[in-house]
Amino acid sequence: MIGDEMRRGDVLALEGVSVWRGGRQILDEVGFSLAPGEFTGLIGSNGAGKTTILRVVMGLLAPAEGTVLVNGRPLARRNRSVGYVPQKVLIDPDAPLRASDLVALGLDGEKVGPRTPSRQRRQRVEEMLDAVDATAFADARVGNLSGGELQRVLIAHALISRPQLLLMDEPLANLDIRSGQEIVDLLARIAEQQRIAVLLSAHDMNPLLPVMDRVVYVAGGRVAVGTTDDVVRTEVLSKLYGHQVNVLRVDGRVLVVSGSHVSLDAIPRQSGAPAADASVEGR
């Protein structure tokens, strides 16, 4: 682990978290912490351990070793201070469930028994929909929403119970560039205004660069934590990956290129011809 000190008042603190599954180590002594209002990117390629980290933070997966503290207290299942936005939603376009219904379920979806109508709750749902600019499609069926609209509604669903920490699983994976940018801006605004810590997983850090306060870079179940400038550097990531990787900055974008045989000079100049043995992690 490439270090991160625990700070006072942290919303979330992981220390030495290790997870095994089927004899394979998925997470290796992962540790990082999030302060209120901080926007943190959980960056790594597929299979690096991002989703496992999110599941540990949600309390869906108990780590074999290490501690998870939410607001300084050990994590309990069903924690109201953690909001979660899943990557995928399974719902039929015809299914009778409106965007506003889904947001209302964010208040009391786990409760048993019928709900009594309340003006106060309806008002809170409306305010929340307004806060994520979703009023226009509040009445639309959830299954009919576009990717960007659905993300907004899911964010409203997660935030309506006023959590201190918002977890987002690859929210940009299925969005076009413009909707993705809108979602990122919205989250940055929410993090700042409502002092909510946002932990957002992504395989590409570039859309997040303008708003990301810190990065938790995951590779092979280990993490490197800090500001983008501290972490996304050739030496740090090479140490994390355990082999040579090169960090390239082109036009304000960051590319992480792996390949021990490839030095910067060896990269062919002509466009479109990928270098042998090189793979690109950022886009």
Partner 1 sequence: MEGILHALFAPGFGHSEPVRTAVLAGAVVALVSGAVGVITVLRGQSFAGHALSALGTLGGSAAFLVGITPLWGFVTSGFIVAGAMELVGTQRRSGRDVATGLVLSTALGLSALFLYFETIVNSTTGVTITILFGSLFALNGITLPAMILLGIVCLVLLALLYRPLLLSSVSSELAAARGIPVRTLGVAFLMLLALSAALSSVTVGTILSSALLIGPAATALRLTKRPAVAMVLAGVIGMVSTWVGIVLAYDSYRWPPAGKGWPVSFCVVAVLFTVYLLTGLGSRLRTARVRQRRAGAPVTGQPLPTVRQG
Residues binding partner 1 (CB under 8 A) = 58-60, 77-78, 82, 84, 86, 88-92, 94-98, 101-102, 105, 108-115, 139-142, 146-148, 157, 175-180, 255, 257, 262, 267-268, 273-276, 278, 280, 283
Longest Cα pair distance anywhere in the chain, in angstroms? Answer: 68
Amino acid occupying residue 11: V
How does DSSP classify residue 98?
B
How does DSSP classify residue 234?
H
| Nearest approach, Cβ of residue 145 and partner 1 (Å) | 10
- Mapped onto helix, strand or coil, the DSSP state of residue 200 is strand
- Which lies closer to partner 1 via its Cβ, residue 180 or residue 226? 180
- Which lies closer to partner 1 via its Cβ, residue 83 or residue 221? 83
| Nearest approach, Cβ of residue 110 and partner 1 (Å) | 4
| Nearest approach, Cβ of residue 277 and partner 1 (Å) | 9
- Contact between 267 and 246 (Cβ < 8 Å): no
| Nearest approach, Cβ of residue 32 and partner 1 (Å) | 20
| Nearest approach, Cβ of residue 39 and partner 1 (Å) | 20
- Contact between 211 and 184 (Cβ < 8 Å): yes
- Mapped onto helix, strand or coil, the DSSP state of residue 217 is strand
| Nearest approach, Cβ of residue 44 and partner 1 (Å) | 17
- Contact between 59 and 77 (Cβ < 8 Å): yes
Q: Measuring CA to CA, how many Å separate 190 from each of 99, 131, 136, 166, 282?
A: 20, 9, 19, 10, 26
Tell the burial category of 7 from Cβ atoms under 10 Å away from its Cβ (0-12, 13-18, 19+).
Answer: exposed
242: which 2 tokens?
């355990």
- Which lies closer to partner 1 via its Cβ, residue 1 or residue 267? 267
